[in-house]
Amino acid sequence: MFRFTLLLAALSAMLSTSVAFAPSLAVGRNGFCASSESAMPVRSHSGSKSELNMAADLKGKVAFIAGVADSTGYGWAIAKALADAGATIIVGTWPPVLKIFERGLAKGQFDEDSTLSDGSKMTIEKVYPLDAVFDEPDDVPEDIKTNKRYAGLDGYTISEVAKAVEADYGKIDILVHSLANGPEVTKPLLETSRKGYLAASSASAYSFVSLVQKFGPIMNPESCALSLTYIASEKVIPGYGGGMSSAKAQLESDTRTLAFEAGRKWGMRVNTISAGPLKSRAASAIGKEPGQKTFIEVAIDYSNANAPLAQDLYSDDVGNSGYFLCSPLARTITGVTLYVDNGLHAMGMALDSAALNQ
Ligand SMILES: NC(=O)c1ccc[n+]([C@@H]2O[C@H](COP(=O)([O-])OP(=O)(O)OC[C@H]3O[C@@H](n4cnc5c(N)ncnc54)[C@H](O)[C@@H]3O)[C@@H](O)[C@H]2O)c1
């Protein structure tokens, strides 16, 4: 709650400051419009604090978050921050972990992690089975259809889920992609097979393209799409293998191209957050050798030792940044990769390098 209040206070302060520096009301959105939109009446804009705070209110907005199966990850934290601002939350969950997630929800296992700033609990209105490596029903191979982890499930391809969401909610406002999968993630790129590389790309990068494609037509004007990326896309992070670094590079590049295409087509904003290391379920599964630190434990320790801000990074930090990017406060921000990593991306030298002590 403290962090959330701080965020709102900081945003209000930022925004009221920017109003103070605005040279004139004539330089607002409509003043620069070259298209037919310039015929639109100029919206009155008092820039008062209360009006700007209202802009952060997400009441009446519907957010679909793909890739939530427990409360440890970034998808959950973003859902919570959006719920805190009043959005209706629906999620897409990978079929192999769907039952365990639904059981956990029913048993109240995530209640403690659902508390919002006013003391109420986040409600997930609906959980849709979603396998983001399939776009259309015809893409689903026989071995998946008959797999016991998919038994009794139907309609989990991206286009079917978009149709189901439309049937339930009509148009929605926020689309979050918080999922990744690389079957060969523990292998260096030099040892990664074509199959493993393409699987990482399919599950972790193309899945975002497909979600934006299929959900675009059911998004309200001024909607936004958001994904999660990792610094391994642009700097070498040993241990983040199997083509996952390549998939994240694709995701960031696609963010820019989709921002242009979906912006022009649907008025949608598209951004990605380059998040610092978090001990989520997915991340904890990388490089689990008995008696040794996992990949993510090393990454967290490294960040604490070397980032400009020597403080813990919580999933809520990314949740709050996701909320900002998905809110009208960020209405002119699109195509960006926003680092939420205590500044680690800015470092070019490791402070704890043994070489510094020689
Ligand atoms: N944890 C970190 O340190 C970290 C850092 C930077 C970026 N990220 C990114 O954040 C996002 C969320 O990951 P997280 O670490 O919070 O873990 P997480 O376990 O909460 O989320 C990953 C989710 O992806 C789902 N998933 C896997 N394959 C899928 C498929 N084919 N279809 C649908 N869902 C599928 C899993 O079931 C899981 O719910 C990922 O894109 C990840 O790369 C994580």
Closest alpha carbon to 89 in 176, 157, 3, 2: 176
Domain-located, residue 113: yes
> pLDDT above 90 covers what percent of the chain?
81
User: Is residue 96, in this structure, part of any structural domain at all?
Assistant: yes
Does 203 sit in the ligand 1 pocket, CB within 6 Å? yes
Cβ of 179 below 6 Å from ligand 1? yes
Total of domains in the chain: 1
Of all atoms in ligand 1, which is nearest to the CA of residue 76? Answer: 20
pLDDT of 169-181, one tens digit each? Answer: 999 999 999 999 9
Q: Does residue 339 carry a catalytic annotation?
A: no
Work out the mean pLDDT of the chain and round it to a whole number: 88
pLDDT-above-70 percentage for the chain = 85
Q: How far is the CA of 28 from the centre of ligand 1 (A)?
A: 38
What distance in Å separates the CA atoms of residue 77 and residue 295, rounded to the nearest whole number? 22
Average pLDDT over residues 16-29: 34
In a domain? residue 292: yes
Task: Give the separation between CA 167 and CA 155, rounded to whole angstroms.
Answer: 13
Element (H, E) at 177: strand 172-177
The model's pLDDT over 270-286, given as tens digits with 9 standing for 90+, comes to 999 999 999 998 898 88
Exposure of 342 in the CB half-sphere (CA atoms within 13 A): 21
Closest listed residue to residue 265, CA positions, set 237, 225, 207: 225
Q: What is the pLDDT of residue 56?
A: 80
For the whole model, what pTM was predicted?
0.88
Crossing angle between the packed helical segments 194-201 and 244-266, to the nearest 10 degrees:
30
Supply the CATH number for residue 287's domain.
3.40.50.720
H helical segments located in the chain = 2-21, 49-55, 74-84, 95-107, 142-145, 158-169, 194-201, 207-215, 244-266, 281-284, 295-306, 315-326
Query: Has residue 42 been placed in a domain?
Result: no
pLDDT at 51: 52
- In this predicted structure, the answer to whether residue 20 has a pLDDT above a threshold of 70 is no
* 270: nearest Cα among 200, 219, 198: 219
Range of the domain at 210: 48-345
Span 335-341, average pLDDT: 98
Strand 88-93 versus strand 124-129 pairing type: parallel
Question: Quick check: is 318 in a domain?
Answer: yes
